[in-house]
Amino acid sequence: MKKILAIATNSFRENIRDRILYNLLVFALLMIILNIALVQLSTGEWERITIDVGLSSVSIFGSLMAIFLGISLVSKEIEKRTIYTLLSKPVSRTSFLLGKYFGLVFTILFNMAIMVVVYVAILYYLRGHFTWAQGQAIILIFISLMIVVAIALFFSTFSTATLSAIFTLSIFVIGHLTQDIKTFGQQSRKPLYKYFGQFIYYAFPNLSNYSWIDSATYAQAMATRTFLAVILVGLLTAGLILALASLILERRDFV
């Protein structure tokens, strides 16, 4: 555990120094702050606009951070050959993988906290209200980002950064459309489309389950039992993907 924590701490420091992270964070904060201008131009329902734009900004830019930092977690170490030095020490490949994962998760959590603080400050500045539904939406956004990081890390264990980005973005898009694809397949008269829709639905993580922004704009909180169940499924999904990534990394030959 100490080794994982040490790797996670070092990974966190490296990620914080990454220029991409600062660029994305600045754009995210600007997007949230510009929400004030949008509200001033709107004729009504300004609070819903504030909530929608604010939470959407946190989700979109958090996802970009997870993808573009996650794809280089392992591939960067391999390209720079620093992984050989790390693995020559009494550190298992699984510990190395988990350390990298939690380092990026902590980085995203840290940046999400900054964005959420700015969002809440703007919300109260405009005399809005922060509800438990918004809190649920933020927590579920973080859970979805944990899954996205795991996906990016999975592809980075056996592919280049470019291909990892393509694969991760593809899974990210499909993950938000799994329910629609399944519904389309069920409505189709061709059995092939039906089976294909079911395959996509069950084979890929359903990231749309972790999107509660629309309901949060209307202050509609998810039932506690359902909310906890969604979180548990999300953590299990991330854990399963990490297990597959660990299996690949353990069997990979770096010689």
What CA–CA distance (Å, rounded) separates 226 from 161?
Answer: 36
Long-range contact pairs involving 110-114 (C-beta distance under 8 Å, separation at least 24): 110/12, 110/16, 111/21, 111/25, 111/28, 111/62, 111/65, 112/58, 112/62, 112/138, 112/141, 112/142, 112/145, 114/25, 114/29
In whole numbers, what is the pLDDT of the chain averaged over residues? 82
Predicted confidence at residue 146, as pLDDT, reads: 94
Predicted confidence at residue 62, as pLDDT, reads: 87
What CA–CA distance (Å, rounded) separates 93 from 99?
Answer: 10
pLDDT-derived band at 134, boundaries 50, 70, 90? very high
Q: In 92-223, where does DSSP find H-type helix?
A: 93-125, 132-156, 161-175, 178-187, 191-203, 213-217
Least confidently predicted of 63-67, 77-81, 119-123, 230-234: 77-81
Tell me, rounded to whole angstroms, the distance of Cα 17 from its chain centroid. 20
Closest CA to 207 of 181, 235, 245, 234: 234
- Per residue in 1-19, pLDDT (tens digit) is 777 787 788 777 777 776 6
Predicted confidence at residue 242, as pLDDT, reads: 92
pLDDT-derived band at 161, boundaries 50, 70, 90? confident
Predicted confidence at residue 86, as pLDDT, reads: 64
Predicted confidence at residue 23, as pLDDT, reads: 65
